[in-house]
Chains A and B, each alone.
Chain A
Amino acid sequence: MEHLDYDTLNTLKQLMEDDFALLIDTFVQDSTDRISTLRQVIQGTDADLIRRAAHSFKGSSSNIGALQLSALCSALEKKALEKRLEALDVDLDSIEKEFAQVQVLLRSLS
């Protein structure tokens, strides 16, 4: 799977026009916040909270065309849904790594 869906990104570029850069910045800031939120909630045992946080991040990354990132979030969401709360920090590490990658690629576009 690709890191980024360039069709989606091109559509977004056309859509946002001069605001494309703003969109990328928003996504980056947004995602950074989400990752730190996730860091916190996986320490706890509230599965629903974890599920929701993962779900949201999944949504925004899919909107931006970050396919792999979205898929990783989806997996985390599923685990939380099934109340399998073990080794969540490993999953989050993968997410963080993927995000770093996506960030670089996005920056190069805008």
Chain B
Amino acid sequence: MNDVRRLKILVADDTDTDRLILESIVRKEGHQVVSACNGLEAIQVYSAEKPDIVLLDALMPELDGFGAARKIKELAGDELVPIIFLTSLSDTESLVQCLDAGGDDFLSKPYNRIILQAKIKSFNRMREMHSTMLTQRNQIVQYNNRLLQEQTVAKHVFDNVAHSGCLNASNVRYFLSSLAVFNGDVLVAAMRPNGSMMVLLGDFTGHGLPAAIGAMPLASTFYGMVPKGFSMTDILREINGKLKNILPVGIFCCATMMDINFRKKRLKIWNGGLPDCFIYHHQEGNITPVKSTHLPLGVLSNRAFKDNCEYFELQKEDRIFVWSDGIHEARNADGDMFGEGRLKEVFSRNSNPELLFADIIEAVQQFVGSGEKDDDLSLLEIRMDEPARVNSFAKEASDKFGNSEIEWAMRFEVKPTSFKVFDPLPMLLNVLMEVPSLRAFSSTLYTILAELYTNALEHGVLKLDSELKKTPDGFSDYYELREQRINQVTEGFVRINISHKTNENGGLLKVRIEDSGEGFDHQQRSTDNLSSFGYSGRGIALVEKLCGTVTYLGCGNIVEVAFSWASDD
């Protein structure tokens, strides 16, 4: 039974008789034979023929078997070429000499065909395994090189995208080790138009390029939206949505985001998945932890995303400490983790808050010891201070705040040919949504605009009577009539005036809608229709509840509402 494929076997023996016998045996086994009569010839034939297995006589003239074996092993390099010594040497010393020279086995004289067959089979198996291993090893080297390349790209992208923004402010200290960055930590910070500072510390799952990929949309969204005045919750939501859409399942970003208002000494903070942040109170010398109360970014759909934040009133010199899990999970030589306990100890041991930042880093580095090449540390400290002492931008914004009224107004008229085919509401709402602060009130504003516009169009221009809607039959009559009249209308208008003015606390949005109708006797209007049971009539009452005021002007064909909003910054 011979299930070895046809091999090429080198037979090197200086005794003609022995060589002849061996050649015949090998041939009879179905293999190809190449021969040599001495050590030098063996090396030559090996180089030329590259046989799979070598049978080498130990004692030969010119160069003996040992020398030939060494040379052949050298020539083979990485590959495994089994060398079987042919010898009737039986003393241990000689046999050891054979092995030392690179021999893998012996075959004693007289040659036994069965034994040789078994050895060939066994060595062939070994050869094939070895060959597989080499192929796989080469593949691994290739993949490894590719990985290194990717990491270089990742680092490059990271360095360019996740730049530090306004982290050079005088009351900010941060430390991001390169291993932390490699492990997916990202820190972005920028100043808002009102002089507040917005900061986000993120920790992406994964390492290297997969982690860096998430940093790109995060940073570009952040740096795009902050200078435009968007609120922290808007930005969080936007980032969450982008990450959820782009990143595969299982890749997400634990993050802490903060809005620090130096003028009002107020902190707004959202923690999704990072360890507790600490607020260090200067006066009392104690710590308030801010726990993670949310899932990380990129996990939930925007519908399920929770953007509720925690608010803290701070005093000057209070410090906020934010970190990723690198500190808590730093391990020493015994495998123990640094943990929150030791971190709290650093705070309680400390006598000079100014040194807390350095103390923390030193404590971790000492704990880990000198074994680690690099630590996985991300640490951020922000100290509450006067806007003027933060940076020039904060100072300017704060100085400007007294005169910071921004005002605009727009007018839009819907003409007869548009009534049937054009609904101005989505467009108007879109314009309003471009005002960052109004975004939070989108459904409220839509309700108001929709109610006022509908009234203006239906009662004013189309002259439909809302009395009709008091009965179920009347309802369908009403809408039939509406359909009829809107198809036939040739004159009339609805004019929409919107103006917006910001002030110290927020802003005032005024909407005024004028229709070409005859108005109505607004003095007689009952003021509390919200609780009435009719099929209609709650609209205006609702608008009244939502807005500060609802005023009718002219003959009742002009309605004006004022919607005032307060910023929660």
Contact = CB atoms under 8 A, between A and B. Distances in A.
Contact of B17 (A15, A52, A63): A63
B61 to A, nearest CB: 9
Nearest to B21: A63
A55 B88 contact: yes
Interface string B1-42: 000000000000011111011001100100000000000000
Nearest to A24: B17
Nearest to A34: B15
Interface string A46-57: 000000100110
Q: Which residue, of A11, A29, A65, has the highest number of chain B Cβ atoms within 10 A?
A: A11
A23 B110 contact: no
A91 B468 CA distance: 142
A26 B18 CA distance: 10
B525 interface: no
B20 A22 contact: yes
Interface string B150-189: 0000000000000000000000000000000000000000
A64 B17 contact: yes
A12 interface: yes
A27 B16 CA distance: 7
A30 interface: yes
B59 interface: yes
Contacts of A31: 17
B109 interface: yes
Given A55-B88, A62-B88, A23 B21 contact: yes
Interface in B93-134: 109-111, 113
Contact of B15 (A8, A16, A59, A65): A59
Contact of A52 (B20, B21, B59, B111): B59
Contacts of A58: 88
A2 B109 CA distance: 18
B88 A29 contact: no
A95 to B, nearest CB: 16
Contacts of B20: 16, 19, 22-23, 26
Contacts of B25: 15
A21 to B, nearest CB: 12
B316 to A, nearest CB: 97
A23 B88 contact: no
A15 B113 contact: yes
A19 B16 CA distance: 14
Contacts of A12: 21
A11 B25 CA distance: 11
A26 B25 CA distance: 16
A65 B21 CA distance: 12
A30 B88 contact: no
Contacts of B110: 8, 62-63, 65
Nearest to B112: A11
B11 to A, nearest CB: 13
Interface of A: 8, 11-12, 15-16, 19, 22-23, 26-27, 29-31, 52, 55-56, 58-60, 62-65
20 contacts: A8-B110, A15-B113, A16-B20, A19-B20, A23-B20, A23-B21, A26-B16, A27-B16, A31-B17, A55-B88, A56-B14, A56-B15, A58-B88, A59-B88, A59-B109, A60-B15, A60-B18, A62-B109, A63-B21, A63-B110
